[in-house]
Chain A
Amino acid sequence: MAPAAPRVVVVDYGAGNLVSIEQALTAAGARVSRAVTGDDIDGPDLLVVPGVGAAAPAMDRLREGGFLGPIRAWIEADRPFLGICLGLQLLYEGSDEDGAQTLGILPGRTVRLEGAPTLPHIGWNQVVRRWSHPAFAGIADDADFYFVHSFVGQPDGPSADALILADTEHGSRFASAVARGRLLGVQFHPERSGSNGLRLIANVVAAARAAAPSLA
């Protein structure tokens, strides 16, 4: 008997395009549903917070949807989590973009990209890995992924170095992927990064399935 398809919940808080992330997760063999309130996070194998845009309106919508508690609890329990772009930035303590106070799950702040020749940073750029991680299995160590952002989460404190999985250069070097336990955060858009991105999403879905309590 084939194992049940991994179930993925994508948090829908009005922050742009969900079609592409849902399509990429589906292509990876996942069953995907959208959470429009915190109650919709009903024990999936993987929780995904996507999103682009500014932090303050996003935090307002997460608060209104009752998402803040469930997302915090999910990550504190080290359940499989993927944060993409704004969905990663919101995990830090605050954002310089609009002064918003954000979730404070990761140490550091979201800051403007320093020394960038063009802003926003839009296009394909190299993601250079510091250490090996299952999400990047089968992907070149400096593969190109698609970025579209002006701000970026900057880890600080004693755990910062351990958190940073990959770096990217645009005027200065910044953390383009972070990982801690079963949490993965990426500043780029795997759902828009061609076959490298699809491979990353398939790896994340496969790891979430392996982490499912029923199979532990």
Chain B
Amino acid sequence: MLRRRVIPCLDVANGRVVKGTNFVDLVDEGDPPELAERYAREGADELVFLDITAAPEGRGTLLDIVERTARRAFVPLTVGGGVRSVDDMRDVLRAGADKVGLNTRAVADPELVTRCAARFGSQAVVVAIDARALAAPDPAIPSGFEVVVNGGRLPMGLDAVAWAVRAVELGAGELLVTSIDRDGTKSGFDTDLLRAITTRVPVPVIASGGAAGPDDFVAAIRDGGADAVLAASIFHRSEYTIAQVKAVMAAAGLPVRTLDQEATA
């Protein structure tokens, strides 16, 4: 049976793992390759590496750090931030990424999703959607969730659920859905946002933004319909281990991968 994944996220700025509240006030949390190795050893099912300053600074991904990170972790690595073309995606895959996340650039150039999927397959294309709830109803955004880009700085006037459906039609093989309202706030995942998207798309959805503890992971899957759950600060600060989160998920009846049946290499 397919396991529900627990994915630590490495938000990388200037070559260091950082974490801030609502994408600002960044705090240094460590070295990307070191953290990647530690999380892989502790049972991370996958890792996400987001170069969060690439898009705002208008530059490409930090390929040397991607490669050092990929060499240290024998679990899948998704890299996002700064991918602006099929050639950029090729370079990031060749540096050791298994999947590439497209966010800001996909909103500006949706056909980029199609071009990347045609070249590398849909399974390698993750469209990352940062969304926030509208303060007041807007007929242009019927779901009530709006897409924001550039690291959560810029609202696009685009309905997040409609964009999710379109991204999959264009060729996305997976969606990484982040609630900007919840990100870094430890108030739990936005299961309404997740549910609105997971009921509309056939591809796996990774929930992101707001994890405070293991119960939130269970809720993102059970109530939000997510296939995988991503978190950063609760792991970086050792508030919970991956094993503790998975134990709670398993007790709630969710299939998880545990390390007790692993081979010794």
Contacts and interface: CB of A to CB of B under 8 A. Distances in A.
Interface of A: 14-20, 23-24, 27, 52-54, 57, 118-126, 138-140, 143-144, 146, 148-150, 169-170, 189, 191-200, 202
Given A123-B2, A144-B3, A148-B99, A17 B227 contact: no
Interface of B: 1-5, 40, 45-46, 67, 70-71, 74-77, 90, 93-99, 118-124, 173-174, 202-204, 227-228, 257, 261-265
8 contacts: A17-B93, A57-B119, A118-B204, A124-B5, A146-B76, A148-B123, A149-B123, A191-B74
Given A124-B2, A199-B263, 7 more contacts: A53-B124, A54-B121, A118-B202, A123-B228, A125-B3, A143-B261, A193-B75
A193 B204 CA distance: 19
Contacts of B97: 17
A130 B261 CA distance: 18
B265 A202 contact: yes
A59 to B, nearest CB: 14
Given A24-B74, A125-B3, A169-B1, A120 B96 contact: no
A144 B173 contact: no
A107 B46 CA distance: 33
Nearest to A23: B71
A148 B46 CA distance: 12
Given A57-B119, A192-B76, A123 B45 contact: yes
A17 B263 CA distance: 24
A131 B257 CA distance: 23
A23 B119 CA distance: 24
B173 A193 contact: no
A138 B263 CA distance: 6
Contacts of A23: 70-71, 74, 96
A124 B118 CA distance: 25
A15 B118 CA distance: 12
Contact of B265 (A140, A170, A192, A195): A195
Contacts of B98: 16-17, 20, 52, 148, 189, 192
Given A53-B124, A124-B5, A118 B227 contact: yes
Contacts of A192: 74-76, 98
Contacts of B40: 194
Nearest to A196: B263
Given A18-B94, A124-B5, A198 B120 contact: no
A122 B263 contact: no
A119 to B, nearest CB: 6
Among A24, A52, A119, A124: residue with most chain B CB under 10 A: A124
A199 B264 contact: yes
Nearest to A54: B121
B2 A120 contact: no
B237 to A, nearest CB: 24
A125 B2 contact: yes
Given A17-B97, A19-B70, A120 B263 contact: no
A20 B174 CA distance: 21
